[in-house]
Structure 1
């Protein structure tokens, strides 16, 4: 199943919508600013929070905690300094370790579990900040895979912002 994450460009705070490929809205991703740690809430169309991600501040690696029902269900991290390719490590509460690998410049990533691709993240056919697709091949984990896609996107944006600041 293909899901689309669409960013709202002119909002007071960062906001995105997760939609099906048929443009049915599923979740709003709402970023809370003015905190030491950036927090994103995934809110369904009824207004219920289904997941959240919290970016930890002051770490050696970009680290984001994934929470559902107030409990941490996973952690994603990326090394700050990497010469070739982008790789993210995901550790889940159930003991699984997922790998997200791809190309920063092409904005193409695969989420894999022991060599099996669970989802593919792509901005290839979309404008730079408008939208990106998440093709999920492992339906039982569809919500987690969408949350991981949002995490990857925000880690990349943070990295780009840091690079521009250092120029």
Structure 2
């Protein structure tokens, strides 16, 4: 199934909506500003927090914790050194390890487990909004895969900002 993630570029509090390909809103991502850590709340349409996404400050690897009801269910991190392409790794609470591979320039990423593609992330730019599609092939982990797509997008934005400030 295809999901669309639409960032509101001009919103003060930075939010994104996750919709089905038929424009039915399912989730909202709220970014809390002015904190030492960047915190996102992944909220359903009734206002229930489905997950909390916390970017850890002061780490060697760009690390994000995904929490559900206060417990860490996944740890997302960017590899420190990679020659070709961008690569992320995800360690799940149940012991599974996922790999996210792709390329910033192509704006295409795959979420994989043991060689099988679970989801494909494809970014596209629109005139007013930044939007990208997440094609989820494993409905069992659909919400987690969408959350990981949000983590990839925000990590790439953060790293792009860091490179610009270091010039």
TM range (shorter): over 0.9
Query: Aligned partners of 2:125, 2:9: CA distance in 1, in Å?
Result: 14
Q: CA deviation at 1:126?
A: 3.6
User: Runs of 5+ in structure 2 lacking a partner?
Assistant: none
Q: CA deviation at 1:4?
A: 0.3
Query: Aligned partners of 2:118, 2:163: CA distance in 1, in Å?
Result: 30
TM superposition score normalised by structure 1: 0.96
Q: CA deviation at 1:34?
A: 0.8
Is 1:89 matched up with 2:89?
A: yes
Query: Aligned partners of 2:143, 2:67: CA distance in 1, in Å?
Result: 12
Q: CA deviation at 1:144?
A: 0.2
> Is contact 2:2-2:134 (8 Å) kept?
yes
Q: CA deviation at 1:83?
A: 2.9
Structure 2 equivalent of residue 127 of structure 1: 126
> Is contact 2:32-2:38 (8 Å) kept?
yes
Structure 1 equivalent of residue 17 of structure 2: 17
User: Runs of 5+ in structure 1 lacking a partner?
Assistant: none
Structure 2 matches for 1:98-117, cutoff 5 A?
98-117=98-117
Structure 2 equivalent of residue 70 of structure 1: 70
Q: CA deviation at 1:8?
A: 0.6
> Is contact 2:4-2:19 (8 Å) kept?
yes
TM superposition score normalised by structure 2: 0.96
What secondary structure sits across from 1:11 in the alignment? coil
Structure 2 equivalent of residue 136 of structure 1: 136
Structure 2 equivalent of residue 164 of structure 1: 164
Query: Aligned partners of 2:104, 2:125: CA distance in 1, in Å?
Result: 15
CA deviations on 1:8-47 (whole Å, 9 max, x unpaired) are 1211121100000000000110000111110000111111
What secondary structure sits across from 1:22 in the alignment? coil
Q: CA deviation at 1:70?
A: 1.3
Compare 71-80 and 143-152 and name the one that shifted more.
71-80
What secondary structure sits across from 2:145 in the alignment? helix
